[in-house]
Amino acid sequence: MASKHAWYQTAIFYEVHIRAYMDGNGDGHGDLAGLTQKLDYIKDLGVDCIWILPHYPSPLKDDGYDISDYYGIHPDYGNLDDFKALVEAVHARGLKIVVDLVMNHTSDRHEWFRQSRSSRDSPYRDYYVWSDTDERYQEARIIFLDTEPSNWSWDEGSGQYYWHRFYASQPDLNYDNPAVEAEMFRVAEFWLELGVDGFRADAVPYLYEREGTNCENLPETHAFLQRLRKFMDERYPGRIILSEANQWPEDVRPYFADGNEVHMNFHFPLMPRVFMALKSGDIRPVVEILERTPEIPENCQWCTFLRNHDELTLEMVIPEEREWMWAEYAPEPRMRLNLGIRRRLAPLLDNDKRKILLAFSLLMTLPGTPVLYYGDEIGMGDNIWLRDRDGVRTPMQWDSTPHAGFSAGPAESLYAPVIDDPVYGYRRVNVADQIDDPDSTFSLVRQMIARRKSVTALGKGSFEWAANTGNPALAAFWRSLGDQKVLVVHNLIGQVQSASISIPEGVSGRLVEIFTAKEYPRLQDNMLQLTLAPYQYHWLESR
């Protein structure tokens, strides 16, 4: 039966840093040609949609999130022909691709900013936010707390301050200027014409500034995004916007509007609570945040994730929870960055395969579309000693040959050192070794993805906590879509647990475990009795 759901509601997303993935020309940097070579691997994993980090020319002060030309390709990555070849190869495999679109700011090397700062009379002056004082918008928080003392920086040449929510080398565009909006629509059009399936819209809460507010989530921002959506729906129906709004659920909800703003939003507050639950053996933080999560329109979807290319952000927890997360997950000061933790999934979970798979199971079964971060599917490690967030962006570990099979270039050309420690080093952790081993993290994640996709209820079904004994170390819930009912049970702790779960009315038929095909009998009073090994999970489908 054809699904009535839009593709992004039941898809698996995979986030790729082009520089880190595969070097196609031996210069030590991953590139578009390299990524194109690896599409069969991505397809084999079960991914439906690739999200690539910024591919544009950039001085790389923020790893490409500082764009100096919206219409080009970073020379390390190739050229527009390589980009077209990638899009074609993606589509030929039935995959989709969304690209990062950084609308809030440019690089200070962008021609618009060069012109803007060249003189107060420049026609580009108003492309950015200038001020005689640095006292305006004092209620706006600083995001890159470890490095930026203020959201204003002084421009000596033109004698005014300019506004930036991120690094000083990333001046914010001025969306009160209609010319800026028109420019951004042209940029969107350019990439949509090249066939991209949508955008991951970077840092959208900060597009506008208004005195007396925290300059986030303003009505003007929503109106702008709705105009962009309308433009895309009219000209490029089916292409999506996935917005990055790192906000509380009630503040993210307006980004879906009436189903006429963005299609998808990351669920930022859920992510740290999954880690809280895994560490404390108590699912209640997840229960609470899902209770606090409003319903969203039919044509929208959350994106869930465990890790991404940034620090594990702790912006969406209260201060006591943040201290607890730091103490538990970032015992060394170097592991902390801004309001987060610069570590990868496997090290965060003690490199314990049971915990890693448990985390993936939560990702695959909680409401939303899962977004996997490259390398986590093989349990890659990190390098906290690299600068900024580079330690979670090291070369993908393909095999045990030199440079992990990532690059044929000389060692000194590599953009970052390959992880080479005894535990996470590429000789121990790599794709080639895991792909044919049915018990490897890769194979088990691949299998989980395949199962998840075979059960539509896990993509778009309703969600309900299961009535159990009230034991918070068991995370048990039902996902239902029409007649399809799936009970998912997770044991969050390192001890064997038994679970008595009452089967609600309306769930008929046999209950069969999806991975093992084992049938679980209904007991008297419609109870189900399960025993779970440490960190074990079961997905039971009624058939």
Which one of the listed residues 244, 311, 377, 390 is annotated catalytic?
244
Nearer to ligand GLC, 52 or 431 (CB): 52
Q: Cα dist. 25→29, 34, 187, 398, 414 in Å?
A: 8, 8, 28, 16, 12
Min CB(471)–ligand GLC separation in Å: 37
**Nearer to ligand GLC by C-beta: 161 or 166?**
166
Name the minimum Å distance from CB 388 to ligand GLC.
Answer: 9
Q: How far is the CB of 160 from ligand GLC (least distance, A)?
A: 23
Nearest-angstrom CA–CA distance, 19 and 395:
8
Residues 6 or more apart whose Cβ sits within 8 Å of residue 163: 128, 129, 130, 131, 137, 151, 152, 171, 172, 209
Reduced to 3 states (helix: H, G, I; strand: E, B; else coil), residue 70 is coil
Nearer to ligand GLC, 31 or 244 (CB): 244
| CA separation for the pair 485, 11 (Å, rounded) | 19
3-state helix, strand, coil in the chain (%, to 5): 35, 20, 50
Nearer to ligand GLC, 148 or 310 (CB): 310
C-beta closer to ligand GLC: residue 102 or 501: 102
Q: Cα dihedral sign for 290, 291, 294, 295?
A: positive
CB of 500 to ligand GLC, least distance (A): 43
DSSP character string of 400-467 = SSGGGGS--S-GGG-SSPPP-STTTSTTTS-HHHHHT-TTSHHHHHHHHHHHHHH-HHHHH-EEEE--
Residues 6+ apart with CB under 8 A from 121: none
Shortest reach from residue 165's CB to ligand GLC, in Å: 8
Please, what is the minimum distance in Å from the beta carbon of residue 128 to ligand GLC? Answer: 15
> To the nearest whole angstrom, how small is the minimum distance from the Cβ of residue 98 to ligand GLC?
14
User: What count of other Cβ atoms lies within 10 Å of the Cβ of residue 7?
Assistant: 14
Closest approach, Cβ 203 to ligand GLC, in A, equals 4
420 labelled catalytic: no
The owner of tokens 């022909």 is 81
Query: Which spans of this chain sit near ligand GLC (rule: CB under 6 A)?
Result: 62, 65, 102, 166, 202-203, 244, 309-310
* Active-site residue, from 202, 311, 382, 388: 202
Say how far apart CA 99 and CA 80 lie, in whole Å.
Answer: 14
H-helix segments, 106-237: 111-118, 178-193, 219-235
Question: Which of 95, 102 has the CB closer to ligand GLC?
Answer: 102
Minimum distance between the CB of residue 102 and ligand GLC, rounded to whole angstroms?
5
> Cα–Cα distance between 455 and 300 in angstroms, integer?
19
Dihedral angle, C-alpha 394, 396, 402, 408, nearest 10 °: -100
Active site residue 202: yes
Q: Which residue, 31 or 62, has its beta carbon nearer to ligand GLC?
A: 62
Give the burial string for 258-270 (b: 16+ CB within 10 Å, else e): eeebbbbbbbbbb
Burial 161-179 (b: 16+ CB within 10 A, else e): bbbbbbbbbbbbbbbebee
Cβ distance to ligand GLC smaller for residue 155 or 315: 315
Residue number with the smallest Cβ distance to ligand GLC: 65
- CB of residue 202 vs ligand GLC: minimum separation in angstroms? 5
The residues that bridge with 245 in the sheet, in sequence order, are none
* Nearer CB in complex with ligand GLC: 392/501: 392
Q: Residue 293 corresponds to which tokens in the numbers above?
A: 């999560």
At residue 152, φ and ψ (nearest 5 deg) are -110, 140
Contact at 8 Å (CB) between 67 and 106?
A: yes
3-class secondary-structure state, position 199: strand
- The span from the CA of 373 to the CA of 391, in Å, is 14
- Which residues on neighbouring strands pair with residue 70, listed in sequence order? none
For 156, residues 6+ apart whose C-beta sits below 8 A from its C-beta are none
Specify the DSSP class assigned to residue 125.
Answer: G
Q: Which is nearer to ligand GLC, 28 or 64 (CB)?
A: 64
Residues with a catalytic annotation lie at 202, 244
